[in-house]
Amino acid sequence: MLKLGIMSIGFPNFRVDIAQKNLEDSLSFFAKLPVETVIEENVLVTEEDIIAAADRMKGSCIDALVLELGTYSYGSVIQALLERLPGVHIILWGVREPIADPDKAIPLNTLCALNMYGSFFKRIGFKNFSYCYGDIDEEKTVIKLSSIVKALSLGKRLRRSRIAVVGGRVPGFYLSNVDELRFRSLIGPEIVSCSLASLIADANRFSQEEVAESLEGFTQCCAVSAAADAVERSGRIYLALKKFAAENHIDGFALRCWPELQDLYNISACGIIARMNQEGMLVSCEGDVTGLATMMILSEFSDNPVMLVDLVNISREGIVKVWHCGCGSPAIAGSEPKFESHPTMSDCPGLATSFNLKTGHISLCKLSEDQQYRMLIMDGRCVEPDRRVRGNQGDLKFPFSGDKMLETVMDEGIEHHYCLSYNTDFAALREYCRIFNIREIKIEGGD
């Protein structure tokens, strides 16, 4: 959980009483968020008190500090705060000027303080900060502060997470790998390895009783029409992945789903991936590490299971069709979902899901490794598909043309797996990209 320090600073010549009321309102707001708070209950109006509070925050090992600008305050305290709180994200927050006694000076002057501190940060090259301007009873202020907290919380979780690459990438998918040290440093998760041989060996050790019990999870998701022996082997691989995750504290898998699982075990992994994603253990297809990272990010900002898809068609009307061969979770089905044999591996008995994606507000995104990590973010709607097809398909309508999307994808060199999510919190997603220096790739409207 994110540990959030909160302090309000001021200057005795301004209306500290108004600042104190604002602080009390803001503490009530932050108390409702899923964070651990370390608070200073009173507005701090001397340099000595501000520095002492910073020392207390340091002792509490906070991750971020909300520096509420109760009134204008001392320029000298900023360097002292940064020295005492290295690595701590600073959230500068200024409020609007209230109308008070017309015969006196303005009561707070917090915008000036916000401007001043921001200029200090820029001049010394300090980038680990956010800012917000507005009162706590404004929706945009609530959204901004909540988004910053969500983004920082995700960043902390990713830094503490571990993902397993099972078997490596699939043949020819050269960009599914990452520079592991750079990925660890900039995105967060530690990457560990798991061999397909050891996974299959573990799968074969489970008793028939254990496997039979695990199969209920498939039948509870949706109807199953695949061959019984394929379902049984899928249950074994599912149990082996769950066992590896529990023993190694794994938060997600990038799974090499072909060709060895077909050659050595005569199953496809799609149905296993669909089930695990539905249960909250994220798994990417084809050993795609940045695909998995995109799923981990989007799942934090979405209210439905996420899935990886390919771009497969752009209609003459500009509708973008996405599809994958059966890894979609039944929870995002818009037509009757079912587990069946694989749609492209004719000699493989299963297991894969088949359905149309449900209609609604979607995002289509991809985290991509480059000189600087970047994130393609597309905001659109899933509409009724133009045809029937096995696997998982969705027809997507964006405020820009399909040709414009393709132009951007080709110019930027974005890899071919995209993460689709529903009802995405775009404000939090964009804050995450900004805070963690991930360049957002935007596609403007029009042709």
Would you say 282 and 306 are in contact if contact means Cβ atoms under 8 Å apart?
yes
pLDDT digits (tens, 9 = 90+) for 270-318: 999 999 999 999 999 999 999 999 999 999 999 899 999 999 999 999 9
Residue 124 — pLDDT band, cuts 50, 70, 90?
very high
Q: Point out the domain boundary residue: 125, 159, 193.
A: 159
Same domain as 28, residue 46? yes
What CATH number is given to the structural domain containing 185?
A: 3.40.275.10
pLDDT digits (tens, 9 = 90+) for 108-117: 999 999 999 9
What domain range is 133 assigned to?
3-159
Please state, in angstroms and rounded to a whole number, the distance separating the CA atoms of residues 416 and 239: 29
Report if residue 222 sits inside a domain: yes
Instruction: Using the predicted structure, report yes or no on whether residue 446 has a pLDDT greater than 80.
Output: no
Please state, in angstroms and rounded to a whole number, the distance separating the CA atoms of residues 12 and 42: 13
pLDDT digits (tens, 9 = 90+) for 165-206: 999 999 999 999 999 999 999 999 999 999 999 999 999 999
Same domain as 230, residue 86? no
13 contacts: CB under 8 Å, gap ≥ 6: none
Question: At CA 435, angle to CA 431 and CA 441, rounded to 5?
Answer: 65
The confidence score (pLDDT) of residue 104 equals 86
Same domain as 149, residue 166? no
Number of domains in the chain: 2
CA trace torsion 211, 212, 215, 216 (10° rounding): -140
Residue 348 — pLDDT band, cuts 50, 70, 90?
confident
Report if residue 446 sits inside a domain: no
pLDDT digits (tens, 9 = 90+) for 30-83: 999 999 999 999 999 999 999 999 999 999 999 999 999 999 999 999 999 999
Same domain as 233, residue 284? yes
The confidence score (pLDDT) of residue 288 equals 98
Same domain as 29, residue 131? yes
Half-sphere exposure of 184 (CA within 13 A, CB side): 8
What CATH number is given to the structural domain containing 95?
A: 3.40.50.10940
Report if residue 143 sits inside a domain: yes
Same domain as 408, residue 267? yes
The confidence score (pLDDT) of residue 445 equals 73
The packing angle between helices 77-84 and 110-124, to 10°, is 60
The confidence score (pLDDT) of residue 97 equals 97
Same domain as 188, residue 139? no
Would you say 376 and 414 are in contact if contact means Cβ atoms under 8 Å apart?
yes
Which SS3 state, helix, strand or coil, does residue 334 take?
Answer: coil
Exposure letters 388-407 (e unless 16+ CB within 10 A, then b) = eebbbbbbbebebbbebbee
Residue 447 — pLDDT band, cuts 50, 70, 90?
low
Cβ atoms within 10 Å of 268's Cβ, excluding its own:
28
Token pair in block for residue 299 = 């799942």
